[in-house]
Amino acid sequence: MHPTKESPCKIKLKDGTIINGVINTIQYERLSDIFTKPNSPDFVILYKATTKGVSGKILFVNKSDISWVEPED
């Protein structure tokens, strides 16, 4: 099993969809680094994700579709 550093967060997409989930930030100091560092991937992976009444999903979200991210810690 790979090590993880769980960062719970809430994400709002440009279409208004809200997603609650967890992002593994083991490679970063802060959650915001995933969205601001130059070599970060174009997609974020959320697990334990809940959206539209469905929970426990793994979602790959294109960062260009995100309006805002709110850390839950």
DSSP characters over 3-67: ---EEEEEEEETTS-EEEEEEE-TTSSSTTHHHHSTT--SEEEEEEEEETTEEEEEEEEEGGGEE
* pTM score, whole prediction: 0.88
Dist. CA 28–CA 35, nearest whole Å: 10
For position 35, what pLDDT does the model report? Answer: 93
For position 3, what pLDDT does the model report? Answer: 86
> Candidates 2.30.30.100, 3.30.70.141, 3.10.310.30, 3.40.50.2300; correct CATH number of 6-71?
2.30.30.100
For position 68, what pLDDT does the model report? Answer: 98
For position 1, what pLDDT does the model report? Answer: 74
Given a contact cutoff of 8 angstroms between Cβ atoms, the answer to whether 51 and 57 are in contact is yes
Mean pLDDT, each 10-residue run in order, the chain (73 residues):
91 98 94 91 96 95 97 85
Q: How far apart are the first and last CA of the chain?
A: 24
Structure tokens at 42: 């174009």
